């Protein structure tokens, strides 16, 4: 596939579906099958499903786009300075996966000159898939997804993967938002971003994240009419830090940033 394939959204979407189909077949085979859990050096869990799913995605990318770089959570970096770089999290929510909860997902992002231009949020256990690409509407299982309006943080449904992901100064900053939100939900992992994109939630605030955890969500959320940035309101890229905000309504995004800043 040529380096100009961003001009061909049909080919881009087709490749995204192939990558998610291949990884999803691996993940479903292992889900609720009693796989062994391995602790990484940081004590976070990983399974054979994580590693096989990422390997399948990498193999397809190398075949279809041999000049592209890859950054994967399980197998590291390959040509991370390339013009196009894929960022992969084969199972976002491994703790959910190993405990039988179906809210885990596969995240696949494509960046161009460090900025995310394609994102896939695939939930193989639920048969739900969101694909977003710059300049094109976000699709959920082939149908257009749209965010919803929200009158303010006080009316917002707020998501975060865990209350324990906020450390040091991030903890009081998150609490300022949480205390004002109408409803707070934990434990959705990447599903939260997809729900915002489809108009079932309003706000995601997270910290202690890697680029694998959020870059794929950027085109999905923005392609559905939402906004996503770091806690300072800056665009997210390969070089971004560990704190992100996503909102369906731009005014809610601005308000959340104000509360996070103190």
Q: Please report the pLDDT score of residue 131 as a whole number.
A: 97
pLDDT tens, residue by residue, 42-69: 646 678 889 999 999 999 999 999 999 9
pLDDT (mean) for 103-132: 97
| Domain containing residue 159 | 153-261
Q: Packing angle between helix 9-30 and helix 48-64, nearest 10 degrees?
A: 160
The rounded distance, in Å, linking the Cα atoms of 239 and 187 is 26
Q: Are residues 137 and 170 in the same domain?
A: no
In the predicted model, what is the mean pLDDT of the chain? 93
Q: How confident is the model at residue 1 (pLDDT cuts 50, 70, 90)?
A: very low
Final residue of a structural domain among 106, 127, 144: 144
CATH code assigned at 211: 3.40.190.80
Q: Show Cβ contacts of residue 47 under 8 Å, excluding neighbours closer than 6 positions.
A: 30, 35, 36, 37, 38, 91, 94, 97, 98
Q: Please report the pLDDT score of residue 193 as a whole number.
A: 98
Final residue of a structural domain among 144, 172, 194: 144
Total domain count for the chain? 2
pLDDT (mean) for 59-85: 95
Exposure on the CB side of residue 30, measured as CA atoms within 13 A: 22
Which residue in the block uniquely carries the two structure tokens 């179906």?
Answer: 102
Indicate whether this model's pTM tops 0.85: yes
Length of the chain: 262
The rounded distance, in Å, linking the Cα atoms of 146 and 168 is 35
CATH code assigned at 38: 3.30.540.10
- Tell me the C-alpha to C-alpha distance, in Å, between residue 243 and each of 58, 59, 119, 232: 27, 30, 18, 9
Q: Is 77 or 5 the better-scoring residue by pLDDT?
A: 77
């Amino acid at each position: 596939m040529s380096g100009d394939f961003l001009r061909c959204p049909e080919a881009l979407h087709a490749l995204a579906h192939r990558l998610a189909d291949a990884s999803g077949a691996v993940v479903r085979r292992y889900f609720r099958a009693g796989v062994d859990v391995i602790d990484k050096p940081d004590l976070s869990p990983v399974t054979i499903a994580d590693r096989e799913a990422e390997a399948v995605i990498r193999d397809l990318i190398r075949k279809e786009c041999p000049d592209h770089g890859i950054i994967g959570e399980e197998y590291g970096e390959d040509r991370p300075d390339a013009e196009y770089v894929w960022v992969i999290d084969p199972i976002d929510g491994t703790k959910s996966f190993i405990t039988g909860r179906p809210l885990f997902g596969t995240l696949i992002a494509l960046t161009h000159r460090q900025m995310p231009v394609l994102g896939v949020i695939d939930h193989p256990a639920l048969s739900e898939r969101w694909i977003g690409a710059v300049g094109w509407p976000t699709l959920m299982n082939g149908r257009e997804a749209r965010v919803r309006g929200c009158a303010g943080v006080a009316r917002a449904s707020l998501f975060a993967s865990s209350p324990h992901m906020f450390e040091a100064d991030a903890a009081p900053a998150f609490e300022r938002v949480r205390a004002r939100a109408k409803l707070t939900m934990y434990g959705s992992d990447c599903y939260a971003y997809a729900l915002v994109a489809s108009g079932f939630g309003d706000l995601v605030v997270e910290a202690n994240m890697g680029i694998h955890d959020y870059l794929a969500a950027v085109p999905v959320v923005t392609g559905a009419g939402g906004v996503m940035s770091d806690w300072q309101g800056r665009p997210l890229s390969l070089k971004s830090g560990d704190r992100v905000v996503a909102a369906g309504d731009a005014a809610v995004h601005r308000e959340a940033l104000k509360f996070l800043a103190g």
